Amino acid sequence: MPDEREIGRRVRESVIGTIRGTGEIGEAAVATISSLVQRTVREVGSAGSSAADLAVGAVKGTVGAVGDVVGLGALTAANTVSTTALAASSAATSVGNAAKAAVLGAVRGSAETGGETLEAIGRTSRAADSEASLLGADITAAAVGAVEGAIEVARDTTVDVEEAASAAATGAIEAASDIGEAAATRVRAAVEGTINGVKVTVASAVRPPN
C-alpha cells in the first residue's frame, strides 16, 4: 500500500517534469500543479492509503520540488546583493505558489477519498511550512501560500472559508513553532489579518509581535 513517502516521490517527480522548463513556479502554474496533485492523490487513494498521509506526502513532494528545480542553492552562489535578492525573491514566490497548489490539489484529492477537509487543510499547511524550512526557504511565503490555497479550495466546497483559512494559518504556525518562537511569531504576523478578502484568525498560543 503506498505511503506518505511514495506519494511524495510520485508528486515530486511529476511536478519537476511540469516546471523544469521555466525554472520556477509562477502563478500560472498553480492550477496545472494543483490538478496534477489532485489526480495523483485520487489515484493512489484508490489503493486504500490514508487520506491524511496522502495529503501530507503530496504537499512535501510539491514543495520539495522547488528545491530541486528552482535551486535554492542559488541564494548562496549569487555574488552580488542584487542577484542574491533576486534569487531570494524568485525562490519565495515559487515556494508560496507551490504551497498553494499543493494544498489545493491535496485537499481536493483527499476529499474525494473521504478525508476530512479541515483536518487535511491543517495537516497539509503544517507539512508545507515544515518542508519549506527543511529546504532553507521562506516559511512565511509557504504559510501565506497555504492559506491562499485553503481559501480557494473552501470556496469550491461547502467548507466555511474563514474556518479553512484559520486551519491553514494555525497549521503553519504550529510547524514554525517547531523551529522556534521567533519563527512562529514571524509566521503568525504573515498570516493573521486579511488574505484574499478573508479575515484570518489563528487558534494558537503564539503571541503576535508588539
**pTM reported for the whole predicted model:** 0.81
Confidence of residue 23 (pLDDT cuts 50, 70, 90): low
Greater pLDDT, 55 or 133: 133
Q: What is the pLDDT of residues 6-22, one digit of tens each?
A: 767 777 777 777 766 55
What three-state secondary structure class fits 169?
A: helix
Burial class (CB in 10 A: 0-12, 13-18, 19+), 209: exposed
Query: Mean pLDDT across the chain, nearest whole number?
Result: 78
pLDDT of the residue at 20: 66
Would the pLDDT of 59 be above 70? yes
- DSSP 8-state symbol, 205: S
Question: Please, what is the angle between helix 117-135 and helix 81-112, to 10°?
Answer: 150
Distance of CA 82 to the CA centre of its chain: 27
pLDDT at 192 over 60: yes
193-200 CB contacts, 8 Å cutoff, 24+ apart: 195/144, 195/147, 195/148, 195/151, 195/165, 196/148, 196/151, 196/152, 198/151, 198/161, 198/162, 198/165, 199/162, 199/165, 200/147, 200/162, 200/165, 200/166, 200/169
- Confidence band for 30, pLDDT divided at 50, 70 and 90: confident
Share above pLDDT 70 across residues of the chain, in percent, rounded to a whole number: 73
Mean pLDDT of 98-104: 88
Q: Report the alpha-carbon distance of residue 118 to residue 99 in Å, rounded.
A: 16
Residue whose C-alpha cell reads 504550529 in the numeric block: 174
Per-range mean pLDDT, top range of 2-16, 131-145, 172-186, 191-205: 172-186
Q: Residue for cell digits 484568525?
A: 201
Domain ranges in the chain?
4-200
Q: Is the C-alpha dihedral spanning 172, 142, 139, 165 positive or negative?
A: negative
Output 100 or 54, whichever has higher pLDDT.
100
The pLDDT confidence band at residue 169, using thresholds 50, 70 and 90, is very high
4: CB partners within 8 A, 6+ apart? 53, 54, 56, 57, 60
Span 18-38, average pLDDT: 76
Ramachandran region, residue 73 (left: φ > 0; alpha: ψ -120 to 50; beta: rest): alpha
**pLDDT at site 204:** 60
pLDDT tens digits, residue range 135-164? 777 889 899 999 999 999 998 888 899 999
Which residues fall within 8 angstroms of residue 65, CB to CB, at 6 or more apart?
11, 12, 15, 16, 19, 98
Q: Is 24 a residue whose pLDDT tops 90?
A: no
Q: Are 41 and 105 in contact (CB under 8 A)?
A: yes
CA–CA distance, 192 with 189 (Å, rounded to integer): 6
